[in-house]
Amino acid sequence: MKKSDVRVCIVRAPGTNCDAETLDGVIAAGGTGEIVHFNRLHGGSRKLEDYDALIFPGGFSYGDEIRSGVIWARKFLGLLGDDLKKFVDAEKPVLGVCNGMQVIVESGLLPGLRGASEAPEACMASNASARYECRWIFLKKTGDCLFTEKYAQGEVVEMPVGHAEGKFTLEPGREQKILDELEANKQIVFRYCRADGALARGEYPLSPNASLDDVAGVSNPSGTVFALMPHPDRSCFGWQRRDWTRTGKVDGEGDGLRIFKGLVDYCAKKF
């Protein structure tokens, strides 16, 4: 398959607000994307099986009522759960960004140590600062998945965050056991860090949410489902970088574009 033939479904729901930026990232990576309202999928005018990849973009789906991501996750599973399972079983990539990570975690797809779980095995809790955090942060690649093959192991990159509930947490009393397994599987793909690559160790604002073990992005064991709280869609191009007004460099790529390139390249080779 040619890269331009890769079809990516960027699904949106009431409250989604990063679908257009995500589409720009897919197109810049060489793929073809379509923004599809969730109602069109469960209504039948669009079918999930017709796409090669699925992205849940950022925003505040259903107003983050109850807790972030839970309403959309439950609706998606209730109406399209079988279709989503077939999609994942076919090793088609699924990406979640910010609110998309909250949705994927609530759906039980991540961390996915034993496959998709009926109940969430992790939670994106409120930031330790008890406030909405919107800032640029440093990330260190500490794991691996198909979306991050274009980053070197240990590489430090910059992306912005914008969330109030991004603290990655696990079942109390079993945190270390689960973290050890995630580490062994290289599922902790990105961690919050300093500019020199030293881990944030929960220090604010290097870690904007005090996430457990500095987790910023995690994948399933096969690396086909990946979610992260920072926004690659807001860091795809030179003019999106935080320092462009000082450097005058508006051309070139931002650090986030390689995630979309990894997705498109994988699909082009796989399908």
User: Nearest-CA neighbor of 144 among 232, 217, 56?
Assistant: 217
Over the stretch 138-185, which tens digit does the pLDDT of each residue have? Answer: 999 999 999 999 999 999 999 999 999 999 999 899 999 999 999 999
Mark out the alpha helices in the chain (DSSP H runs). 19-28, 38-43, 70-89, 99-107, 175-184, 244-247, 257-270
All domains of the chain, ordered by start, with CATH? 3-270 (3.40.50.880)
Of 187-196, 197-206, 242-251, 260-269, least confident by mean pLDDT is: 242-251
Q: How far is CA 63 from CA 13, 14, 72, 126, in A?
A: 10, 8, 10, 15
pLDDT for 203 equals 98
In the chain, where do the E strands start and end? 7-12, 32-37, 53-56, 94-97, 122-125, 133-141, 156-163, 167-170, 188-193, 215-219, 225-228
d(CA 206, CA 192): 7
Q: Are 242 and 158 contacting, i.e. CB atoms less than 8 angstroms apart?
A: yes
Is the pLDDT assigned to residue 243 strictly greater than 90?
Answer: no
Q: Which residues contact 130 (CB under 8 A, 6 or more apart)?
A: none
Is the pLDDT assigned to residue 249 strictly greater than 80?
Answer: no
Average pLDDT in the chain: 96
d(CA 238, CA 251): 5
Residues paired with residue 193 on neighbouring β-strands, in sequence order = 138, 199
Is the pLDDT assigned to residue 4 strictly greater than 90?
Answer: yes
Q: Which residues contact 203 (CB under 8 A, 6 or more apart)?
A: none
d(CA 231, CA 249): 20
Reported as a pLDDT band with limits 50, 70 and 90, residue 197 is very high
Over the stretch 16-27, which tens digit does the pLDDT of each residue have? Answer: 999 999 999 999
d(CA 228, CA 226): 7
Which tokens belong to 45? Answer: 């005018």
Is the pLDDT assigned to residue 11 strictly greater than 90?
Answer: yes
Reported as a pLDDT band with limits 50, 70 and 90, residue 269 is very high
pLDDT for 246 equals 83
Reported as a pLDDT band with limits 50, 70 and 90, residue 253 is very high
Provide mean pLDDT across the span 86-105. 98
d(CA 136, CA 119): 32
User: Nearest-CA neighbor of 77 among 111, 114, 103, 43?
Assistant: 103
Which is higher by pLDDT, 246 or 109?
109
Provide mean pLDDT across the span 186-208. 98
